[in-house]
Structure 1
Amino acid sequence: MVYSFIPVFGGLIRVFELAGGPQIAPENPRALLAPLPITLHILSSILFCVLGAFQFLPSLRRQRPAAHRVVGRVIAVAGSVSALAALWMTHFYVFPEALQGAPLYWVRMVLGTAMIGLIIWAVIAIRSRNVFQHSASMVRAYAIAQGASTQTVMGIAWIIAVGSEAMGPLRDGLMIFAWVLNLLAAEILIRSMLRPAQRRQKNSPLPTIPPSTLRNET
């Protein structure tokens, strides 16, 4: 939630502006021409990233499974809307070359499509009682959705280090690298925490029934 703060705060400011509030952030002509996609993207991304953070709590999954399922349904819809809106904006918004080159365009299209596919696969997996595949798919989808957070951190760090904002191919490279870092972190999390838990469940011995219980039952 802390990691999501800057993109969430900036997104809410943009929604406030599009709703008729005073302009605070730099003007975005694309948002003014077609405000609905960016509004849907911001609001659904906030739901997915903030509510999704609670889904990582073991206490919520174990002690409140009903709440975990309800929140899961909400973020599955929110994540799909967020990715669909991102795909629409990537393809139909007209970006200057300094803000989006061909590499960034294709990476956004691939990752947006992959995020929707991961969410669908996570839903299918949990309906088949495959908890590991469900969790792994949602972690990967969450890593894609949190790309804006890592991109913000890297962008601020670049401005502090260099004194100017990265533009053009350099900006594309930094934004793509942010997704690479997120997906790498997701795979480390899956292999270090989720997969060992799956192996422990598979290798755990079957519970033994005391002889006294058998005698009582017979």
Structure 2
Amino acid sequence: MSLTTSHPAPGVRPARRRGAGWLLPTGLIAFGLIPILANALRRVALAAGAADSSAGDGGGMPLPVVVHVVGATVFVVLGALQFSAGFRRRRPSWHRIAGRVAILAALLAAGSGLWLAFATLPDSSPLLFLFRLLAAAGMALCIVLGFLAIRQRRLPRHRAWMIRAFAFGLGAATQVFTLAFGEEIFGTSGLSIALLNGAGWAINLIVAEWIIRRAPGRAVRRAADKTGARA
């Protein structure tokens, strides 16, 4: 008497695995939208209060703030969806179109972020201003390098630069936690606030580099290099 084990038909993936492929994008979107939505609601409330208290003063959110919120939101959503490998395989044309839109949104978010860094300079410490400047410029640089890499068909390099750009983009989300817990321990001095904000970007970049270096393609290239060296 023989026991047989049923296997799924070729080309058919278990529903559990298909569903699991959406956990990472969904989690990234939820994580990234928390500070964006909270900041947008806060600014809308401030703008409405300013309009009520001083009618005729032209209250409202400045255009760079609106551009920053919209650009960051689009980049977080579309950027997170790029992490779904199954969706990329099933919808390659969508991946290309969404990638271009995400690049444009990221550049808008980075450019308006630079404007906001200068606009809030009187209310922030020089170190915090420097961190914001470096984050906005670093995100824009990663986007440009990622775009150039895909134009040259250098897919691993494109992936690496886009992961770094996304890490910059999620900085505000991580800062929600570094500030919430850090202020209780280190206080709310100008130096503490600057370092806690910087820690948010630093943590994300460290995680990004870990993800990049554990990619299967990198392991395959290392094995090929070792084999070639032995030959």
Instruction: Tell me which interval the TM-score lies in, with the shorter structure as reference length.
Output: 0.7 to 0.9
The yes-or-no answer on 1:36 pairing with 2:89 is no
Secondary structure of 2:188 counterpart: coil
How far did 1:92 drift? 3.1
The yes-or-no answer on 1:192 pairing with 2:214 is yes
The yes-or-no answer on 1:12 pairing with 2:40 is yes
**Paired residues of 2:117 and 2:133 also in contact (CA < 8 A):** yes
Q: How many residues in Structure 1 have an aligned counterpart in Structure 2?
A: 189
Task: Name the residue aligned to 2:20.
Answer: none
Task: Tell me how far apart the structure 2 counterparts of residues 73 and 115 of structure 1 sit (CA, whole Å).
Answer: 15
Identify the match of residue 192 of structure 2 among 152, 170, 189: 170
Higher deviation after alignment, 189-198 or 75-84: 189-198
Task: Tell me how far apart the structure 1 counterparts of residues 220 and 107 of structure 2 sit (CA, whole Å).
Answer: 27
Identify the match of residue 127 of structure 2 among 83, 91, 103: 103
**Paired residues of 1:132 and 1:194 also in contact (CA < 8 A):** no
Task: Tell me how far apart the structure 1 counterparts of residues 164 and 41 of structure 2 sit (CA, whole Å).
Answer: 28
Secondary structure of 1:2 counterpart: helix
Gap change, CA 1:192 and 1:78, over 3 Å in 2: same
- Aligned residues with identical type, % of pairs: 31
**Paired residues of 1:15 and 1:39 also in contact (CA < 8 A):** no
Higher deviation after alignment, 167-176 or 104-113: 104-113
TM-score (norm 1): 0.77
The letter of the residue matching 1:166 is T
Task: Tell me how far apart the structure 1 counterparts of residues 215 and 134 of structure 2 sit (CA, whole Å).
Answer: 27
Gap change, CA 1:102 and 1:84, over 3 Å in 2: same
**Paired residues of 2:33 and 2:76 also in contact (CA < 8 A):** no
Task: Name the residue aligned to 1:125.
Answer: 149
Q: Tell me, which stretches of 5 or more residues in structure 1 are unaligned? A: 24-31, 204-218
Task: Tell me how far apart the structure 2 counterparts of residues 91 and 68 of structure 1 sit (CA, whole Å).
Answer: 34
Q: Tell me, which stretches of 5 or more residues in structure 2 are unaligned? A: 1-28, 51-58, 226-231
Task: Name the residue aligned to 2:173.
Answer: 149
TM-score (norm 2): 0.73
Secondary structure of 1:3 counterpart: helix
How far did 1:12 drift? 3.1
Task: Name the residue aligned to 1:82.
Answer: 109
Secondary structure of 1:129 counterpart: coil
1:64-83 map, 5 Å: 64-83=91-110
Task: Name the residue aligned to 2:18.
Answer: none
The letter of the residue matching 1:42 is V
How far did 1:94 drift? 4.1
